[in-house]
A and B are shown apart, each in its own frame.
Chain A
Amino acid sequence: MSASSNINWNRRNVLQAAMGLAAAGGLAACGGNNGRGGGSGSGTALTQYFHAYGEAGTEQAIKRYAAAYKKADVSTNWITGNNFESALFAALLTKKAPDVFEFHPQLQLVKSGQVADLTDLIDPVKDDFNPNDIKSHTVDGKIYGIRMIDDPQFFYYRKSMFEKAKVEVPTTLDELIEAAAKLTTGKVKGAFLGNDFTAIQNVIIWSAGADTINEKNEIAYHTDGVVEGLKKLRQLFTSGNVLLDAPTDFWDPSSLNQGLCAMQWGGMWSMPAMQQALGDDLGIFPFPKIGSAGKQSVYNGGWSIFVNAKGKNVEAAKEYVKWLWIDQKQYQEDWATSYGFHIPPRTSIAESATKLKSGLPAEGVKLFTDYGHFDNIAYDQTMQTAFAEVISSSVRKNGNPEAALDTCDKKVNVELKKLFG
């Protein structure tokens, strides 16, 4: 064999070896667990999906809990960006679907058989859960998810700025508009309600004395009070006194912490970060009432854990979910209070959580109790998107609120018909 041939042979071999390694690497990657919880488990392999929380330490915490579970090898897919929903829904259609995932209670998940019945897990401790959390996960007497955290959302404000501008805490939307005007200076905007105003889309319904859909599963948001609220929000939006296009949205405390605004709509999860940045110069209040029939309101959002009913390991997944979100109360308290602040849905944990017993966190819990509204499992994502378009059209784009609500009604009725016939 010539020298030349030798070189060719070696090159080929090198190439083959490289391709082999690449293929092996690829296969290894396919079989590998992204974000493995720790690998201490044995036997069944489970996958859980979580969206990326904003508070530092949450990803490590959820993986730490998973690693402590010995009966299965639980890996965590921690999905960053704003496409958790799409990634989850797409994955649920495939063989790589997660066994366990977090989401909000949604009737279509139940109707389409995507989530498993967890009644037998919750029944023994049902009385220890916030009844509203049980109600929001119940369909025809069966409970389809376990609430992990309750997240009240309200206004945060800078007390010093209010004192300087001689502004009282607003209790009506008119007062909020006036306060925003008085608080606006060259560098500080009066209020921040999120970049697209959709963060407050549910509370303007409740604050106007209406509801999303009623007990008979009919539209309940299309009222004169809501129309009035939309018009007033348009007034606020165009006043020049609200912060718009902030680098981060309402869920992040930066806008208030950096002095871009005097009051900001946000979740209780932001409280530790705000307290750290602003100390005692921080207060909270519910969304003001709209019109004479209205009342102040707080949105009790949150996240729940579900088991994929079409997964390969439903029983093992249920066992894991029971272990973590029913039995391991120390993890549940850690998850709710060690990073951002959330209210534990278990009454016994909420009552013993010392971090929530005094000061501003205790005020948050009180607002949650006094003014809170919970998710309605039948008011699904499609309906919420339809109402988000009402905000977009009538508040941000100066469309007619009545016309926007009429359009929304059509979409919601189609959805209601699909869900309830």
Chain B
Amino acid sequence: MSTTTTRGVAQPAPAKASPARPRRGLRGNATVNFWLFTGPFLIGLVIFVFVPIFWSIWLSFFDARYTVTPSKFVGFDNYTQILTNSEFPDSLLTFTVFAAFIVPTTWALSLGLALLVNRLRFMRAFFRSVFFLPTAVSYVAAALIWKMSIFSGVRFGLMNTVLGWFGVDNIAYLANPSPPWYWLVIVTLRLWIQAGFYMILFLAALQNIPAELYEAAAIDGAKPGWQTFRYITLPQLRATSTAVILLLLIAAYQAFDEFFNIIGQKATWAQTPLMELYKTALGTSQDYGAGSAGAVILSLLICLVTLIQGKFMGFGRGEDSK
């Protein structure tokens, strides 16, 4: 039987193709529907993202102390000030180091969790939920629990209680920067709260790898375990890995909540770029010009790092496009 014949038989008559219920109102107008659904978001995007961005760029060239509608043009003075007479450059350096550590660590942990959960034969949903649930906790709430309960420096803090059983004296994790125990507090919090989210991304990617690839590899003599992971799984996760690393990098540079609540503003260490800008613009100085200049620099830096990462890892290129 020819396909043409089959098609001719199978296709219903045009008159019957129309559904019994008539098209009404907006359902038939794709353009109106498009604007109806995207319009509110576009308006929000313009008002809350694009206007502030352009306003911020404009402010960065004005003397904008105590005002967001300044009149005195100062050229690049704000850029000079934020780069030479503030802690902002130090914070950028600190957070490049922080990103260099936290990005691969979170990547490895979330991938490890995804592999673990993917292999589970029982209670799979339970373990997925357990690892994912911290994502739902706010950074502020988690930071306060970490600071005041787990890593409190007094004798009834959880960690100090446990250490006390082994005869170790109380440790001030946050007030004293040497040794830098504060990184332990921040890194454990960040890993706890964000690894579950990236685990879900990896889990989805793992489940999209065709079983045939593993079967073919087995036929070709590849050993299950590391060899299969190295030559099949990891390359297949390339696109997801690139996206995850990109998101992690941006999140590292945009860190604020947990640092603000754990370290506070009155330290000269572990001050994130956003905290420095917050202090400059909204804190004590109310210098919206210098704060905006810093925000422009930070945005450009994030764009640059993203482009470099894209260059090296091939952002947007999956296995198929190679």
Give the B-binding residues of A (Cβ under 8 A). Answer: 4, 85-86, 89-90, 93, 108, 112, 114, 187, 195-196, 198, 237-238, 240, 243-247, 260, 380-382, 384-385, 388-389, 391-393, 396-399, 410-411, 414, 418
Is A246's CB under 8 angstroms from B176's CB?
no
Check: B302 CB closer than 8 A to any chain A CB: no
Expressed in whole angstroms, the Cα–Cα distance for A414 and B85 within the complex equals 9
Check: B67 CB closer than 8 A to any chain A CB: yes
Expressed in whole angstroms, the Cα–Cα distance for A112 and B63 within the complex equals 12
Residues of B within 8 A of A196 (CB): 175, 264, 266-267
Is B284's CB under 8 angstroms from A85's CB?
yes
Chain B: interface residue total (CB-CB under 8 A): 36
Is A245's CB under 8 angstroms from B154's CB?
yes
Residues of B within 8 A of A385 (CB): 265-266, 279, 283-285
Is B175's CB under 8 angstroms from A245's CB?
yes
Is B68's CB under 8 angstroms from A245's CB?
no
Contact of B153 among A198, A244, A384, A396 (CB under 8 A): A244
Expressed in whole angstroms, the Cα–Cα distance for A208 and B165 within the complex equals 43
Instruction: Flag B44-83 by CB within 8 Å of A: 1 or 0 each.
Output: 0000000000000000000001111000000000000100
Residues of A within 8 A of B278 (CB): 86
Which applies to chain B's interface (DSSP): helix, strand, loop or mixed? loop
Check: B152 CB closer than 8 A to any chain A CB: yes
Is A384's CB under 8 angstroms from B172's CB?
no
Expressed in whole angstroms, the Cα–Cα distance for A211 and B175 within the complex equals 27
Residues of B within 8 A of A397 (CB): 177-178, 268-269
Is B68's CB under 8 angstroms from A244's CB?
no
Instruction: Flag B160-190 by CB within 8 Å of A: 1 or 0 each.
Output: 0000000001001111111000000000000
Check: B257 CB closer than 8 A to any chain A CB: no
CB distance from A54 to the nearest CB of B (A): 16
Is A90's CB under 8 angstroms from B282's CB?
yes
> Nearest residue in B to A86 (C-beta to C-beta)?
B282
Is B85's CB under 8 angstroms from A411's CB?
yes
CB distance from A400 to the nearest CB of B (A): 13
Is B173's CB under 8 angstroms from A245's CB?
yes
Residues of B within 8 A of A89 (CB): 282-283, 286
Give the A-binding residues of B (Cβ under 8 A). Answer: 21, 65-68, 81, 85, 87, 148, 151-155, 157, 169, 172-178, 264-269, 278-279, 282-286
> Nearest residue in B to A5 (C-beta to C-beta)?
B21
Is A237's CB under 8 angstroms from B268's CB?
no
Interface centre among A195, A238, A244, A384 (most CB of B within 10 A): A244
**With A237-B176, A384-B284 in contact, is A393–B268 under 8 Å at CB?**
yes
Is A245's CB under 8 angstroms from B152's CB?
yes
**With A196-B175, A411-B85 in contact, is A392–B283 under 8 Å at CB?**
no
CB distance from B274 to the nearest CB of A (A): 13
Is A244's CB under 8 angstroms from B172's CB?
yes
Residues of A within 8 A of B148 (CB): 247
Expressed in whole angstroms, the Cα–Cα distance for A322 and B85 within the complex equals 42
Residues of B within 8 A of A246 (CB): 152-154
Expressed in whole angstroms, the Cα–Cα distance for A418 and B169 within the complex equals 48
Residues of B within 8 A of A198 (CB): 266
Residues of A within 8 A of B285 (CB): 381-382, 385
**With A245-B172, A396-B267 in contact, is A418–B65 under 8 Å at CB?**
yes
Residues of B within 8 A of A389 (CB): 87, 266, 268
> Nearest residue in A to B155 (C-beta to C-beta)?
A187
Is B268's CB under 8 angstroms from A392's CB?
yes
Residues of A within 8 A of B21 (CB): 4
CB distance from B206 to the nearest CB of A (A): 39
Interface centre among A187, A237, A247, A414 (most CB of B within 10 A): A247
**With A196-B266, A245-B173 in contact, is A93–B67 under 8 Å at CB?**
yes
Residues of B within 8 A of A418 (CB): 65
Is B283's CB under 8 angstroms from A85's CB?
yes
> Nearest residue in A to B176 (C-beta to C-beta)?
A244
